[in-house]
Structure formats: C-alpha cells, structure tokens
Copies of this chain bind each other. A is one copy, B any other.
Amino acid sequence: MRTPRGGRYSGGVTFPVVGMVGGGQLARMTHEAGIPLGIKFKLLSDTPQDSAAQVVSDVVIGDYRDLGTLRDFARGCDVITFDHEHVPTEHLRALEADGIPVRPGPEALVHAQDKGVMRAKLTEIGAPCPRHRLVKDPADVVAFAEEGDGFPVILKTVRGGYDGKGVWFVRSPEDAAEPFKAGVPVLAEEKVDFVRELAANVVRSPHGQAVAYPVVESQQVDGVCDTVIAPAPNLDEGLALRAEELALRIAKELGVIGHLAVELFETSDGRILVNELAMRPHNSGHWTQDGAVTSQFANHVRAVLDLPLGDPRPRATWTVMANVLGGDYPDMYSAYLHCMARDPKLKIHMYGKDVKPGRKVGHVNTYGDDLDDVLERARHAAGYLRGTITE
C-alpha cells in the first residue's frame, strides 16, 4: 500500500520543493538534473544575471548572509541545499531550529568551510592528511617548516579560499608574512610530493545510503581544474578501493548529506592524502553528466530528498571533462559551429556567464573507448571555445 511521505500535500501536487542557496553553475546544473524528477526547484541568487537565475523559474534575489532573507526563502522549501559553502554556520543552525531540513547540515558543512576544523576532524578519524598545523605568525611558519623537511610549505587561509585563491606557496621565511596580513587564521601544510591529484566523489542520503563514483584524475593548471579523466588511468585497484572507502567513511563520520568531493594527492610512494573537501556537486564530478548512469547533480537532489540513490557507475570506458575558461574571444557561441561539426559526440555545457579571461564559463565532456582520442577531443573543444586553438 502506498502512503504519502515528506513534502507538502495539497491537492494532487505532492512534489517537494528543493531550495538551493547560490546562483552559480552548480545550481544551474542541479536545476537541469531536477527537471526530470518533477520536483519544484527554488533558487536564492545574488542577482537575476547569475548562471542559475537565468534558467530557473522560481528565483528569489537576495543576500545569503542575511538571516531574514534566508528565513523568508526557506519558508517555501521542503529542504535547503547549497551551490556553495559560504552560508554562515549560525544561519544554518537557525534554519534548522525553524524546522527546515538543511542538507548538508551545519555540523557537516563546517568541515568544508573551515580548513582548520576539517584537518582536525580528519586527523581524529584517522584519514590520511598532509602534515599540517594552524600557525599564528611567520616565525611559527618557520618552526613548522623546520619540524618537517623545511621549505617550501603551503599556507592557506582556513576560510574562503577556492581555485588557488587564499593559498600561498611559501619558499622561504621572507614569503611567510603575506598570508597573515588579512588577520585571518592560517593553516600550514607540508608541500606534498604528489605524482597526481585524484578525486573520490560520493553521495550520501539521510537514510545512510551512499554511492561512490569511480575515482578520477584531476589535472590542474595554475591552481584551477583543467581536465578530469574518469576513471583515473593506471590507478592501482587497491588504491582506488581505498580512496572510495575513505570518501565514504569521511561522508559518514562527518554526517554529510548530498554530494561530497574528496580531493586527494597520490604520492610517489603509493599513498593517498586528503587535500580538500567540497560538500556540493563538484567540478571533478561534471563528467558524470554524460559519463555515468546517474549524474552527481541528480544524485545530490535524490540525497537531499532522502530518495534512493541512482547508479553511479560509468557508461563509457573513458570519460573526459575539460573546463572552458574565458579567453580573448567574448563570443563563444560562434565557436560551436567548428566544435559541433568536428565532433558530433561532443557534449558542451555552458553556464551563461559573461566571458572574462581565466573565468570558468563552461565545460565539455567526451567519452569513448580510446583515451587518447577522448582526451584530444575534449582538449581541442575546450581550447577552441577559449580561443587558444584556432584551427
């Protein structure tokens, strides 16, 4: 016998309202993935021009840092989730106190907001991390370096950094002053001798069901994700399994609901170390839109609604995602002609953003059986859209 469950049940309309805070491309693609599920999608966006606000019908324009705005927004929602991790923890607690499910909740999300809290918790649960310590001044940085292999060391502001921002590669004691100028807490980490970066993406629901996507290789250029290869080529099976289990364990121990990206270093001596956590759909999971049975976006929606999760397995031998960054050509649309004619299997995902040099404005996915071919197609398309490849 079927009985109603969750959501708002007036008349025949029984589909829940998912409220997403933040109008970036992750919200845009979450909306896209939610349309087939028939759910109602409501957006809190800074401006009507934001990536997601361009394509969502039910948009509230407002400031997520304002509790009153958040409360008004949340009143029409069955659950609140996020395009980014910047909503203040105390606001999230207030929403929970109002009876609104917040997924992931503030107790989980803080680990993606504060790198100091994240490192402490991961260390507590035995998750392998680079050597790290909160540091209070340049002399403290020198002490941290001397406790290990000396300089270089990495300094990070514990809050607010992304895509290489808020991160310093410190080669000498003289370099160590800059990160302290903003007067915010700073975390020191050893410079890991890694052979490549991996990402383990998992999705977990309130029921505790969880799925793991295959571990991917993530290639960075200038601190920004450039290419993702799924699955990571030539990855030791045991290491892949350990990475998936690690991500599942982190999701469980931290109480994550929704998508969790665990960015990893693979070291030359066969270890994996946790680099960063993201508790939302993540750039390293964009390949799933065209390469997995269920995309990270669809599974994120299912998780926050406590629906059974979809199959995370790949649909192709290899899938490659290449980010499209802004270049010198403001008009990317005209590049579609060449890209689509050259590769009828190419999957373009643009975010509706104005093109600015270096800005992530979209990505492409390619898939197939021959990794060299799949990589070449993705890189060509991304380069052509950006304007760095002109033939």
Contacts and interface: CB of A to CB of B under 8 A. Distances in A.
A contacts with B: majority SS: loop
Nearest to A43: B57
Contact of A344 (B7, B14, B294, B348): B294
A318 B118 CA distance: 45
Contact of A329 (B2, B309, B349, B352): B2
A3 interface: yes
A32 B329 CA distance: 27
Interface string A277-313: 0000000000001000110000000100001111100
Contacts of A390: 1-2
A354 interface: yes
A192 to B, nearest CB: 35
A38 B351 contact: yes
Copies in the complex: 2
Interface in A320-358: 329-338, 340-341, 344-352, 354-355
Contacts of A337: 5, 307-308
Interface in A340-391: 340-341, 344-352, 354-355, 362, 387, 390
Given A333-B7, A334-B4, A56 B57 contact: yes
A341 to B, nearest CB: 4
Interface residues of A, number: 66
A35 B55 contact: yes
Interface in A1-50: 1-7, 9, 11-16, 28-29, 31-32, 35-38, 40-41
Contact of A15 (B15, B307, B352): B352
A247 B387 CA distance: 38
A14 B345 contact: no
Contacts of A274: none
Contacts of A59: 57
B35 A2 contact: no
A155 interface: no
B387 A350 contact: no
A31 B9 contact: no
Contact of A354 (B13, B53, B302, B311): B13
A15 B294 CA distance: 29
A308 B381 CA distance: 14
B336 A2 contact: no
Q: Pick from A16, A334, A338 the residue with the most CB of B within 10 Å.
A: A334
A89 interface: no
A229 to B, nearest CB: 20
Which of A4, A38, A345 has the most chain B CB atoms inside 10 A of its CB? A38
Contact of A14 (B332, B347, B348): B332
A54 interface: yes
A340 B57 contact: no
A336 B7 CA distance: 13
Given A36-B348, A38-B348, 20 more contacts: A4-B334, A12-B354, A16-B333, A29-B35, A31-B35, A31-B55, A32-B32, A32-B36, A37-B348, A37-B350, A38-B351, A38-B352, A53-B57, A56-B57, A57-B59, A294-B345, A307-B336, A308-B336, A308-B344, A310-B344
Interface of A: 1-7, 9, 11-16, 28-29, 31-32, 35-38, 40-41, 53-57, 59, 289, 293-294, 302, 307-311, 315, 329-338, 340-341, 344-352, 354-355, 362, 387, 390
